Amino acid sequence: MSPTSSSEPGPSAAHRAARRAELARNLAGVRARIDAACAAAGRDAGEVTLIAVTKTWPATDVMLLGELGVTDFGENRDQEAAPKAAACAGAGLPIRWHFVGQLQTNKAASVARYADVVHSVDRLRLVRALGAAARAAGRELTCLVQVSLDGDPARGGVLPGAAPQIAEALAAEPGLLPGGVMAVAPLGMPAAKAFAPLRACLAAVRAVSPGASIISAGMSGDLEAAIEAGATHVRIGTALLGARRPLVR
Ligand SMILES: *Cc1c(COP(=O)(O)O)cnc(C)c1O
């Protein structure tokens, strides 16, 4: 028999309570940074949606953050995101999934089953694959055009000038809604300078698709610069969940 009384919290309950407290503290810190950045930019904090990027972290963290009021979650690999979304589906939490990573066309069918927003649309072949996948799943996917702010396609994205062409293709594809633009700050460039073209990118997309309203930009290290540049959605991993361990693929 265990000497521990069954009325005491076991190690897993204690661990869960400690993790919940840590996530609550981190969340308060991130919300304070968003509020301060909005105040500095003369914007309403209600204009900025926080997306918790939970890659490498377990579904239990998603559910804890959901209990703390986070509704939007981001993942960058389908192999990890699909089972995590399934694990959270029965929890009764209002969760929206954002796919933020580079996406292979052969993963479009899987992503379309759980994602609400795909942030990384940067080629016509992917538009067609996502459209077919959304229709097959009977779902509507909001899609953002990923723009490359330094012209280096290594981390995905089209040149800003090509964004309207992708938006037109999205608008023509039943099942897909052009939602706006997404960017990752290039390495070795000040974030404020990198993000400066994003408002004009969204305006160019809105010229072909007036319903588009999203600028997805800003991560743990540069959310203030992104909010200054007009971000409506910030994608925060490390500052909320902690440092990720290097992932063995
Ligand atoms: C991992 C990731 C993030 C979050 O980055 P942090 O620096 O941990 O906040 C945001 N966007 C994308 C596309 C990511 O892959």
Which residues are CB-neighbours of 157 under 8 A, at least 6 positions away? 122, 146, 147, 148, 149, 183, 184
| Distance between Cα 96 and ligand 1 center (Å) | 17
Indicate whether residue 148 lines ligand 1 (CB < 6 A): no
* Amino acid letter, 224: E
The pLDDT of residue 152: 82
Residue 198 near residue 183 (C-beta atoms within 8 A): yes
Indicate whether residue 98 lines ligand 1 (CB < 6 A): no
**Domains of the chain with CATH codes:** 13-241 (3.20.20.10)
Q: What are phi and psi of 111, to 5 degrees?
A: -60, -40
Q: In this structure, which residue's CA is closest to atom 4 in ligand 1?
A: 237
The pLDDT of residue 1: 45
* Amino acid letter, 139: R
Indicate whether residue 165 lines ligand 1 (CB < 6 A): no
What atom in ligand 1 is closest to the CA of residue 241? 8
From the list 219, 210, 224, the residue with the least C-alpha distance to 240 is 219
Model's pTM, two decimal places? 0.94
The pLDDT of residue 47: 97
Q: Output the CA angle 239-242-246, nearest 5 degrees.
A: 120
Residue range 170-225, pLDDT digits in tens: 999 999 999 999 999 998 899 999 999 999 999 999 999 999 999 999 999 999 99
How long a stretch of residues is the chain?
249
The pLDDT of residue 245: 83
Q: In this structure, which residue's CA is closest to atom 10 in ligand 1?
A: 235
CB neighbours of residue 155 within 10 Å: 15
What atom in ligand 1 is closest to the CA of residue 53? 4
Indicate whether residue 102 lines ligand 1 (CB < 6 A): no
The pLDDT of residue 154: 76
pLDDT truncated to tens, each residue of the chain (249 aa)?
445 455 666 779 999 999 999 999 999 999 999 999 999 999 999 999 999 999 999 999 999 999 999 999 999 999 999 999 999 999 999 999 999 999 999 999 999 999 999 999 999 999 999 999 999 999 999 999 999 999 887 778 999 999 999 999 999 999 999 999 999 999 889 999 999 999 999 999 999 999 999 999 999 999 999 999 999 999 999 999 999 987 555
